[in-house]
Structure 1
């Protein structure tokens, strides 16, 4: 794993003469900076901001001109309508690229706006397969998609947790429902376990007694939840109150540092199992750990989930601009598809659709109120 200093030195043109001319490069971010998902949205903004600061500190140049990097952060409120308005605002602001959005439900409609403007969009978080299946040449992501995550979680629930009876809940969002559907599909195709209940809530719900009471009657080994931590935390509390002993399995929307605060003493040890759509092993872990500590010192808060992916997304854009020797999106887009970048989240390269090649996923549980890494698995 190359150090951050080496990565940044690659981005600079060391032989370029010192000049006074500067060119401003605007990078947009779009994520929920308000509402229940704000901690995840701020995580994205912080990751992107740290990358911007690193690029400015290094003094990256292009064609003899120093580049001044500017972050334009917008709040999409995790709302599809607001997301498209924010996307148009970023396009009108003439950003060179966008890192966002967080939620699949905002990412997909916003992607049409960016595609129409020809602006690269790299999502550090959205996992719905639909995002890259639309055929937009502007759409990329630096995380695994729901097909891979759902498959991995189903295999873990069946193979490692030995689940025989599984209940499924999703929040009816593009992300939550898509992930749950893929999980159910894999469980049913694998055999050996029964889906004993399929229930639905929404991403702003706080009362789950009715659906959890129905589920409790089936005595499941595992409850799978498709959604975010803001709902999963209260859900865990109500599971404990009702005496529902099943383990909770979920995706990266739940796999945050804030979940222990949201769930309180209902979290327990080895009760929640979740997957983050990325992962590092070996020497890469040292670089990731160093990044996480630098992130914590800069923003006085730990990495939640997506900050490192937002950081890498910005660095991918910068690397593509260097390869293309241009800031023009029409030239940067082909470069994005062609490059391989050693980021803090691992090796990043895109396939023809804009999905991450050889995507990794990290499985976690929680012990003594802290996220505990179990293993890194690769897409199969």
Structure 2
């Protein structure tokens, strides 16, 4: 009787598991995930790339758009029926939400290592990429991050690469530009104390001072704040020609609105995390006059920008915002390195990635220096006019027409 009961129980459990498996749905998060079983059935080797960015919370719009670019790259790569080591491969994406939180980022990094991913696209924020990079370095896994803080590639790691230029370049170019080209001499600076925001503001300050500007006020907030009345009132008393903000659009948009409400006539100038459709939506008419920098060329002037734009809109039913082209190129550069090395093993393709010469959407000359920084890049400045971002000028950084990269 006991044997019959155990046998019945075993059959019941097996049936339940089978039903559970049948009821599972493919993860909709990336549109590129495929089960290992399906790939194996097709005779393909699965190569998994990890992706990490804020996919929930106030910065989720950055992460989702970034992920879209990575997704499109993987779909394009798979459509070419790639082979590595003489065997057909299928690239799949393991996308994780690090919530722009350094602690969660390290947990995500360890999860990727436990899952034996072949490479990392991300993290998005400097504050998450820097602590996560130590875990990837210890395991010898390459990462191409959106992070722009100079520290990211100054740690001496051999596995860290950027998909955008550093804050050193962006901040220095913009600091000089606003003084020499726009004539701003009295400047107030605010940053959000993140690795990105503070780093960008620091580099801007150095360049503005070197160009002859006076920093009349330096204030700071945080990346969760929404009320800037005290800071703006303090700044207003110094009568600045402009206010520079290092941080994201969740703060720069309400800051722009509150500056107008409190009678500050100086324009707000910021970095690429402000140059977004979200800023325009949040700031409304109070956003007019705001200036923001974004490394690289405008989308329509990128080497393959127009083609990318049309394919992106067809695939995701929305406009390209800021980061997805760089996520696309980072993914394709990593895959190209694997194909050239004829291996998806990190130790074998890492040296190839370090010397990669890739022609992509954002740049026709995607190459790295010995630290993992992109060699070529320019900075484009934009201004909000009638609720739209309009190009002011592309300057600095040795911009060579289409050879421009970008920053985060």
TM-based fold match above 0.5: yes
What secondary structure does 1:342 align onto? coil
Given the superposition, is the C-alpha separation of residues 300 and 20 from structure 1 closer, same or farther in structure 2, using an over 3 Å criterion?
closer
The separation in 1 between residues aligned to 2:53 and 2:330, in whole angstroms, is 14
* Farther-moved stretch of structure 1 (155-164 vs 199-208): 155-164
The separation in 2 between residues aligned to 1:297 and 1:159, in whole angstroms, is 42
Aligned-residue CA RMSD (Å): 1.6
1:280 CA displacement: 6.3
Off by >3 Å, runs of 4+ in structure 1 = none
Whether 2:79 is the aligned partner of 1:25: answer no
Q: Which residue of 2 aligns with 1:209?
A: 229
1:287 CA displacement: 1.8
Q: Which residue of 1 aligns with 2:375?
A: 357
* Farther-moved stretch of structure 1 (72-81 vs 55-64): 55-64
Whether 2:198 is the aligned partner of 1:177: answer yes
1:197 CA displacement: 0.6
1:292 CA displacement: 1.9
1:235 CA displacement: 0.6
Check conservation: 2:285, 2:386, Cα contact below 8 A.
Answer: no
Whether 2:250 is the aligned partner of 1:230: answer yes
Check conservation: 1:20, 1:65, Cα contact below 8 A.
Answer: no
Q: Which residue of 2 aligns with 1:251?
A: 271
The separation in 2 between residues aligned to 1:322 and 1:134, in whole angstroms, is 28
- Aligned pairs for 1:11-160 (under 5 A) are 21-123=43-145, 125-160=146-181
Given the superposition, is the C-alpha separation of residues 84 and 189 from structure 1 closer, same or farther in structure 2, using an over 3 Å criterion?
same
* Farther-moved stretch of structure 1 (221-230 vs 20-29): 20-29
CA deviation vs aligned residue, 1:162-218 (integer Å, no higher than 9, x gap): 001100000010111111111111112221x21111111000100000000111111
CA deviation vs aligned residue, 1:101-121 (integer Å, no higher than 9, x gap): 111100100100111111110
Check conservation: 1:358, 1:378, Cα contact below 8 A.
Answer: no
TM-score, length of structure 2 as denominator length: 0.85
- Unaligned 5+ segments in structure 1 are 1-18
| 2:186 pairs with one of 165, 168, 172 | 165
What secondary structure does 2:359 align onto? strand
1:305 CA displacement: 1.3
Q: Which residue of 2 aligns with 1:324?
A: 341
1:373 CA displacement: 2.1
Check conservation: 2:180, 2:211, Cα contact below 8 A.
Answer: no
What secondary structure does 2:94 align onto? strand
The separation in 2 between residues aligned to 1:155 and 1:181, in whole angstroms, is 13
CA deviation vs aligned residue, 1:24-53 (integer Å, no higher than 9, x gap): 011111000011000001111111001111
Q: Which residue of 1 aligns with 2:219?
A: 199
- Aligned pairs for 1:221-370 (under 5 A) are 221-268=241-288, 271-279=289-297, 285=302, 287-346=304-363, 347-370=365-388
What secondary structure does 1:109 align onto? helix
The separation in 2 between residues aligned to 1:32 and 1:41, in whole angstroms, is 5
Check conservation: 1:278, 1:359, Cα contact below 8 A.
Answer: yes
1:286 CA displacement: 5.8
The separation in 2 between residues aligned to 1:85 and 1:371, in whole angstroms, is 37
The separation in 2 between residues aligned to 1:291 and 1:106, in whole angstroms, is 28
The separation in 1 between residues aligned to 2:388 and 2:172, in whole angstroms, is 25
The separation in 2 between residues aligned to 1:343 and 1:22, in whole angstroms, is 26
> How many residues align structurally?
357
1:297 CA displacement: 2.2
* Farther-moved stretch of structure 1 (60-69 vs 316-325): 60-69
Check conservation: 1:255, 1:305, Cα contact below 8 A.
Answer: yes
